[in-house]
Chains A and B, each alone.
Chain A
């Protein structure tokens, strides 16, 4: 197993926010974190990325405890893909992507030809080489998100962590991003992403971790976890989960929040 999280605990100093979470994911899989705000998804990510200290349990990458890695070593194994952002200076796309190589050369060096070549290769993997010389700040949100994924590829990590990647994207870019993520998994990367929409794991996820109050409410394949029985107690609303077939006869799962009709609120 590439990523193994075993009874991990941690938080911000004022008590643990993540209280004994276990889950795992292998290369080529997409692990989706689902749960209401404040359930500990982002905290779990920070523990994965070594930003917050682990107070109990363990996280292992390729069987090795993440605490045994230096920040540089960790960066070459696990990459963080933030929501697309607007940096203060108008870097070119290549400048941004090549930053993924920061852990690979000494502090006194700048990226060399080999690093730029790796950045080009990462962009080509995503069919985005034509953006290389554009200004990152002039790109659309969806394109910027793609560039940040390229940076993670350039970082040569095997595990990608995405915190609500679709949150600020419009409808079409949102769909495109999900396709890119599914494609990354097919190429052998392990993707860990949090999402507000339970439909994401249902359509592309391999494993789902449903969290509640810093603990695991359910962990398993989406068919087992994305069900009204598991979702309703976590979110506190009624949810129907229906399966439909789209025009290409692909099975799709849709989550519908429902309310009993003709019930006056007062």
Chain B
């Protein structure tokens, strides 16, 4: 009788392992497919050959194929995967940490801070790398500010963070509006607006490389500590009596998630819905245990954003802003998911 329950548990674990493998294949498939999408379709053979040029291959190949592969497609696809994974993992972490499935990393002001940083840099006519650096710094500063003020508050830590976060968010949004108001509508205002829409048009290998560093660090921290997020979903005192220092973990997860979100925003602008929606989809597929949820969210988020970017750049003759596509595709699906889950429960 008892063995039966162990067997069932083991079976479930095997099933989830298959799901994770499946998600990995989906991610790889989506990436390969994306090389083919665009103005210059690259056939799978061309993709392989273009890749091999760096390893000394010098066979028959259109010269543009090499340029497109290395300078346009590859940075764009890698950016989409990293941004998708980062946003999803940060979203899943925040939902656990704040014990609320509707929370996104915005809650501490990372996106608003990044927007303010970017808008300020654009207003000053900065080059692209400085805009990105300014966005990254703005996002980190906003969260640091929220966190430090929250420590002065006598409320519970979660409530304090939510309160100070919304305050910082309001300030940053006011700053962005102010900059938009005083900027030249024919040039700077346009640029700011486009930046805020979220797009991967401007990604190149250099900016990807710089953003990949904080994203890799953030992903590594959360991946290594992922099982502990389960404990943060319990009441604070309860988690403490299980022997863990909940505030220290919370700080570590806030830092890691902020690195992820800030880097994602500075590389791709504001891309909505991913961090809220993907963790929920991943939960439906791989279960709620963070040990599986984090890898599942990362792979699903990466695959999702790559595919959405394919749609953004191929569905119309002009390229759609990625943030718009993720919202249009994501929101109805999310509603469907909520309704379906409710029926099952």
Q: Identify the A interface with B (CB < 8 A).
A: 46, 49-51, 71-76, 78-80, 82, 85, 87-92, 94-95, 99-100, 102-103, 107-111, 116, 120, 124, 129-130, 132-133, 155, 161
Contact = CB atoms under 8 A, between A and B. Distances in A.
Query: For chain B, which range describes its interface: under 10, 10 to 19, 20 to 34, or 35 or more residues?
Result: 35 or more
Contact of A87 (B1, B233, B245, B249): B233
Contacts of A120: 2, 5-6
A99 B99 CA distance: 16
B121 to A, nearest CB: 38
Contacts of B317: none
Given A102-B242, A102-B244, A116 B9 contact: yes
Given A75-B241, A91-B230, A85 B9 contact: no
B285 to A, nearest CB: 14
B280 to A, nearest CB: 10
B241 A99 contact: no
Contacts of B334: none
Contacts of A76: 243
A111 B231 CA distance: 12
A95 B230 contact: yes
B242 A75 contact: yes
B10 to A, nearest CB: 9
Contacts of B2: 120, 124, 129
Nearest to B293: A89
B228 A51 contact: no
B73 to A, nearest CB: 35
Contacts, number: 96
B235 A103 contact: no
A79 B241 contact: yes
B243 A102 contact: yes
Given A88-B101, A120-B5, A71 B243 contact: yes
Given A51-B237, A87-B234, A110-B226, 13 more contacts: A49-B237, A75-B242, A75-B243, A80-B241, A88-B95, A92-B287, A95-B230, A102-B242, A103-B244, A120-B5, A120-B6, A130-B1, A161-B241
A89 B96 CA distance: 9
Contacts of A87: 233-234
B contacts with A: majority SS = helix
Interface in B215-270: 224-228, 230-231, 233-235, 237-238, 240-245, 249
A99 B8 contact: no
Contacts of B1: 129-130
Nearest to B249: A107
Nearest to A113: B10
A88 B100 contact: yes
Contact of B283 (A89, A102, A109): A89
Interface of B: 1-2, 5-6, 8-9, 12, 95-96, 99-101, 224-228, 230-231, 233-235, 237-238, 240-245, 249, 283, 287-289, 291
5 contacts: A87-B233, A88-B100, A89-B96, A102-B244, A107-B228
Given A75-B242, A103-B242, A111 B227 contact: yes
Contacts of A71: 240, 243-245
B214 to A, nearest CB: 20
B217 to A, nearest CB: 15
Contacts of A49: 237, 240-241
Nearest to A157: B241
B225 A88 contact: no
B337 to A, nearest CB: 15
What 3 pairs across the A-B complex have the smallest Cβ distances? A75-B243, A103-B243, A80-B241
A83 to B, nearest CB: 10
B224 A108 contact: yes
Given A129-B5, A133-B5, A109 B240 contact: no
A82 B242 contact: no
A129 B3 CA distance: 10
A76 B241 CA distance: 9
A116 B9 CA distance: 10
Given A124-B2, A133-B9, A88 B240 contact: no
Contacts of A90: 288
A72 B241 CA distance: 9
Nearest to A74: B243
Contacts of A72: 243-244
Given A91-B288, A99-B231, A102-B231, A108 B240 contact: no
Nearest to B12: A133
